[in-house]
Structure 1
Amino acid sequence: MKDFFIENRQIGPKHAPYIIAEMSANHNGDIENAFQIIEMAKRCGADAVKMQTYTADTITLNSNKEEFQIKGGLWDGQTLYDLYQSAYTPWEWHKPLFDKARATGITMFSSPFDTTAVDMLEDLNAPAYKIASFEAIDLPLIRYVAQTGKPMIISTGMANDEEIAEAIDAAKSAGCNQLAILHCVSGYPAPSSDYNLRTILDMQQRFNLITGLSDHTLDNTTAIASVALGANIIEKHVTLDRSGGGPDDSFSLEAAELKHLCDAGRICWEALGRVDYGRKSSEEGNAQFRRSLYFVKPLKVGDIITSDSIRSVRPGFGLPPKMLESIIGKTVSINVDYATPVTSEAIAK
């Protein structure tokens, strides 16, 4: 897998997971909330804040026909147009939000939903792009984003392996050479049992790309577990207040939970380490308490070492226990007391 950079942050297996705090619609129509989410993400240790760039008119049609109505789930009873009209981030906010992120010292980028969004984000010098799961089959949009030459992350919720391959081919053929994919379940929220995290391993082997997780479960367990399976990017929705009433608030992380994700995700990655059977630095002080062979009765020069005169005990200053049978029947070359370590010098040649 080929590492890549978003701004100055290297992303890949040899680096801690890249944590993306997804703001989505959780500003609830107030730019001050958006500013606070940026500050919260930085304070909690996230690497980036992501927004979404669309309007109701660029993402759907203003229609009351049945196919445009949402039935069931969090947004039951709304039309697509009404949902996106209430949830979008005004385009005139984008520059102040990017400026705020830069001043705060955290990366910001966005998911564009049409070419006009890409053009506007290019004017703001967005450092990367995210393709949302529902747009993973929009190959013309992927090609348009690829032509910017910026890093691209494609979320794969609802896409089968053939559709994922088509999205990757579209990105690469249009010039994207910094590409990652995210395993995702596009349920809001999604049960952890739907995630089948072993798919991440298969995606890495099948597509040979940096692979991560876009997590819509209600806590951090699934995301942290994905790090142990090699996820290099974690995306999670965040909010100032889960009870705030916004479209995505109910399945988003508050500050304490985001901090836990950032901390635990990095600890999990550090714990993976590398294949290493050697003694670790934290073990050095305890090595003396391993088992070894000790005399458990006094013996004089020339006495035969019997099975009841030595034992395998702690601490570890004597010969290793594996030598027990080879030592029994030999004689001692020096006088030994009770609780004396068995050494090669104490045994007659």
Structure 2
Amino acid sequence: MDNSNIHIIAEAGTNHNGNLDKAKELVDIACNAKADSVKFQIIYPWGLYLPGDYEYGHYDIKKVIQIREDGMLKDEEYDELAAYCKEKEIAFTASVFDERGLDLLLKFDPPYVKMASCDLNNIRFLKQVAERGKRMIISTGMSTMQDVEKSLNELAKINFDDIVLLHCVSVYPAFLEKANVGFIKTLKEKFGFPVGYSDHTGNSIAAAMALANGAEWFEKHFTADRTQEGFDHAYAMEEEGMTQYVKDLRDAEKAMIIPDQKISDAERYTRKRARRSLYAAKDLTAGTVISDEDVLIVRPEGIMDADQIDLLIGSKLNTDMKQYQAFSPDFI
């Protein structure tokens, strides 16, 4: 957005549940929220999961694959979706998980390619993406510092450095006490790349703290309806929450702007009425040696500031003064 140095990714993922109209609705929500880009996930489940019959965490793998299959858009539907994003003037992109998805995404000239945390150690695929020359945003969930360093070293070998690192806690939802946003500063200092935050918490608090720790990129899951079936709906933000999230981050960014001068014109106005200065506590005559009893240290701002009291005490007045008249250096 104009006058902003942060980029907010509205993460639609597969929350369209395989329906193009719902995908367009998600684009509308992202636009209304004033996000900078809307990101989907191009997933072909047959190359992502090991076939078979087994428990996948607390899921049955067959159920997982079925949900993924039901949640797919057809390749040709992405043409219409990307065109809709262009019409709505919001950048379109996606997370990709294999070369087929990468080829499809690059048809639309996205501003970046997103790599999910699960692929941080998929170095062969990272290199394939890097060779296509697009900025790569890499999430670092489930990874040690050594994991991150190894992958970045491999990308450096092919002279690829157009990278953004997203701090991520791969827990859904992530609780604030586990957000670890201070690690963002560590990532930035260690590797020198732009950094961001893939946020799975329930509000904007951690994101605002991430901003204070140097994050410039923010990714947030959203949905049209949290009650829908699917992996990401339950912890995603609905439209009102997503809109507030973006607003909170924009406002937090404004709060961090360093002005040209410490005191703004608005604050100078407040200072005029709120700063203490030195005033005569009573009528005083020329020749009076000023004592504490002769001076009021009160608002509003006058001529001599409160910190000049020691210049005044013990000095001799060279003029008469009325009660409540402001002291001046010219009077002593």
Q: Displacement of 1:177 after TM fit?
A: 3.2
> CA contact under 8 A between 1:213 and 1:235: conserved in structure 2?
yes
The amino acid of 1:70's aligned partner reads Y
The CA distance in 1 between the partners of 2:156 and 2:81, in whole Å, is 30
Q: Displacement of 1:302 after TM fit?
A: 1.4
Q: Displacement of 1:78 after TM fit?
A: 4.4
Is the counterpart of residue 238 in structure 1 residue 227 in structure 2? Answer: no
The CA distance in 2 between the partners of 1:92 and 1:59, in whole Å, is 21
SS at match of 1:288: helix
Equivalences for 1:8-47 in 2 at 5 Å? 15-47=4-36
The CA distance in 1 between the partners of 2:264 and 2:20, in whole Å, is 50
Q: Displacement of 1:122 after TM fit?
A: 2.0
Is the counterpart of residue 168 in structure 1 residue 157 in structure 2? Answer: no
Partner of 1:3: none
**For 1:139, which of 104, 116, 123 is the aligned residue?**
123
After the TM superposition, list the runs of 4 or more consecutive aligned residues in structure 1 that deviate by more than 6 angstroms. none
Write out per-residue CA displacement over residues 94-128 of structure 1, whole angstroms, 9 at most, x where no aligned residue: 11111111111000111110112112222332331
Partner of 1:314: 299
SS at match of 1:23: strand
Flag the 1:102–1:82 CA change in 2: closer, same or farther, 3 A. same
Q: Displacement of 1:284 after TM fit?
A: 1.7
**For 2:71, which of 87, 106, 110 is the aligned residue?**
87
Q: Displacement of 1:276 after TM fit?
A: 6.5
Q: Displacement of 1:191 after TM fit?
A: 1.6
Is the counterpart of residue 61 in structure 1 residue 50 in structure 2? Answer: yes
**For 1:218, which of 182, 188, 202 is the aligned residue?**
202
> CA contact under 8 A between 1:150 and 1:176: conserved in structure 2?
no
The CA distance in 2 between the partners of 1:120 and 1:114, in whole Å, is 10
> CA contact under 8 A between 2:96 and 2:102: conserved in structure 1?
yes
Partner of 1:109: 93
Flag the 1:206–1:275 CA change in 2: closer, same or farther, 3 A. farther
Q: With the length of structure 2 as denominator, give the TM-score of the two structures.
A: 0.94
Number of residues of Structure 1 aligned to a counterpart in Structure 2: 330
The percentage of aligned residue pairs carrying the same residue is 26
SS at match of 1:308: helix
Partner of 2:325: 340
Partner of 2:82: 98
Q: Displacement of 1:306 after TM fit?
A: 1.6
Write out per-residue CA displacement over residues 194-248 of structure 1, whole angstroms, 9 at most, x where no aligned residue: 2211100100000101000001112222122211211100001010111223321
The CA distance in 1 between the partners of 2:41 and 2:208, in whole Å, is 25
Unaligned runs of 5+ in 1: 1-8
The CA distance in 1 between the partners of 2:56 and 2:328, in whole Å, is 79
Flag the 1:172–1:100 CA change in 2: closer, same or farther, 3 A. farther
The amino acid of 2:166's aligned partner reads L
**For 1:294, which of 273, 279, 285 is the aligned residue?**
279
Flag the 1:199–1:276 CA change in 2: closer, same or farther, 3 A. farther
Q: Displacement of 1:287 after TM fit?
A: 2.0
Write out per-residue CA displacement over residues 48-68 of structure 1, whole angstroms, 9 at most, x where no aligned residue: 00011121112123311x3xx
Q: Which has the higher contact order (CA 8 A, sep 6+)?
A: 1
Partner of 1:70: 56
Partner of 2:263: 279
Unaligned runs of 5+ in 2: none
Q: Over aligned residues, Cα RMSD in angstroms?
A: 1.9
Q: Displacement of 1:171 after TM fit?
A: 3.0
Which sits farther off after the overlay, 329-338 or 273-282? Answer: 273-282
The CA distance in 2 between the partners of 1:89 and 1:182, in whole Å, is 26
Which sits farther off after the overlay, 76-85 or 196-205? Answer: 76-85
The amino acid of 1:185's aligned partner reads V
Flag the 1:44–1:228 CA change in 2: closer, same or farther, 3 A. same
> CA contact under 8 A between 2:203 and 2:245: conserved in structure 1?
no
